[in-house]
A = this chain, B = another copy of it.
Amino acid sequence: MNISQRGLAIQESPIRKLKPYADDAIKRGIRVYFINIGQPDIITPEPVWEAIRNYGEEVLSYGPAQGFLELRQAIADYFVDYNIPLTAENVIITVGGSEAIHFSFSVVADPGEEVIIPEPFYTNYNGYAACANVRIVPLALHVEDGFRLPASEEIEAKISPKTRAILLCSPNNPTGTVYTEEELDRVIDLAVKHELFLISDEVYKEFVYDGAKHKSLLEYEDIKDRVIVVDSISKRFSCCGARVGAVITRNADVYQAVLKFAQARLCPPSIEQKGALAAYRMERSYFDAIREEYQRRRDVLYEGLKDIPGIVVHKPQGAFYFIVKLPIKDCEHFVRWMLTDFELDKETVMVAPAQGFYSTPGRGEDEVRIAYVLKEPDLKRAITVFRAGLDKYLSLFS
């Protein structure tokens, strides 16, 4: 009577496993600045709360497996505003972007088959790959060049007879990189040449800075059969706890298969779907202030980090993360030490060891991910505390 191999193999959340040390620090009276996770401090819009309060049914009943039609329509309309011609028939509501990833993996690949993902990547891809017994084939990117995609030959070398899809996340978690059209074109060419699906995680779509524009894979009409977009309201509307995401596809076979997986779990949460609907009905100008806010935070963080001796950091173009290479061999030890042994005037900082964002053994051990999810004054203070901790750590351990 043993646990399954996949139950043993699935990785513990590298972001969450250090949380108990943070809890202990708080118990000791330390203020911890959490810049380890992508939990924004942006207030959830009032229309969302209002819709939730006014749900207005007597029975909290099952909704449709594919989500409420009004919400599917609202999401389609949202993309139409970006000149992407979608209808509600292209949208299936999922339990967060998480479930959208899981469904996408399950529909494109059978156990033992492969999905290529540029590395570092969002750590929960590992969890869903383990869950679906899909093998992630990492494509190594590097902090030194800002995590740009390598030459086509290098990508192509990762393609095997078992490859079923390439997954791109842009704007990227954890690197903040936004792929250029040239990069996308090269990946698309390979997908066409080798008959692969393209899974596109675009949950940070709105978070692109310096006036740049995010290019969705849904904009490429000639490969519309190939594209499966993973979407979510978690970051878009600061609704992480709502668990409302979507699979978006114009491939009818993919849609039908995803729908069957969706039917097995009955429906997404009803109440939060109404909240999501209200969010999509807000003015699009909602994002302007938020985008500016994040861009300022990114600049503050970049200015605070770039001249630290011995570190490597690239200014990201989107999302709200940095991957930073530190002059430290074992960043997990450093992150833990910051929580257990360090304080500056009763304050410390929690960042995420980057190792969990890599699947190649040994990669990322000298890197951390920092999320700029705090207000500017807090972020500035967090940088000061982080730098002091880093200095102290280096003086002790190197």
Q: How far is the CA of A52 from the CA of B10 in the complex (A)?
A: 34
Across the interface, name the chain B residue whose C-beta is closest to A273. B241
Determine if B241 and A12 form an interchain contact, defined as CB atoms under 8 angstroms apart. Answer: no
The answer to the question of A349 belonging to the interface, with a C-beta cut-off of 8 Å to chain B, is no
Most B CB within 10 A of own CB, among A8, A16, A60 = A60
Determine if B41 and A107 form an interchain contact, defined as CB atoms under 8 angstroms apart. Answer: no
Determine if B39 and A261 form an interchain contact, defined as CB atoms under 8 angstroms apart. Answer: no
The answer to the question of A268 belonging to the interface, with a C-beta cut-off of 8 Å to chain B, is yes
Across the interface, name the chain B residue whose C-beta is closest to A237. B60
Q: Which one of B8, B16, B57, B261 contacts A10 once the chains associate, using CB atoms below 8 Å? A: B261
Number of chain copies forming the complex: 2
How close is A42's CB to chain B, nearest CB, in angstroms? 7
* Residues on B with beta carbons closer than 8 Å to the beta carbon of A261: 7, 10, 127, 131
- How many residues from A make CB contacts under 8 Å with B? 81
Across the interface, name the chain B residue whose C-beta is closest to A124. B264
* Residues on B with beta carbons closer than 8 Å to the beta carbon of A96: 265-266
Determine if B1 and A62 form an interchain contact, defined as CB atoms under 8 angstroms apart. Answer: no
Determine if B39 and A58 form an interchain contact, defined as CB atoms under 8 angstroms apart. Answer: no
How close is A280's CB to chain B, nearest CB, in angstroms? 15
The answer to the question of A73 belonging to the interface, with a C-beta cut-off of 8 Å to chain B, is no
* Residues on B with beta carbons closer than 8 Å to the beta carbon of A131: 106, 132, 261, 264
Determine if A264 and B98 form an interchain contact, defined as CB atoms under 8 angstroms apart. Answer: yes
Q: A-side interface residues toward B, CB under 8 Å?
A: 1, 3-8, 10-13, 16, 37, 39-44, 48-49, 52-53, 55, 57-63, 65, 95-96, 98-99, 102, 106-111, 113, 124, 126-128, 130-133, 164, 195-197, 225-226, 238-243, 253-254, 257-258, 260-261, 263-272, 275
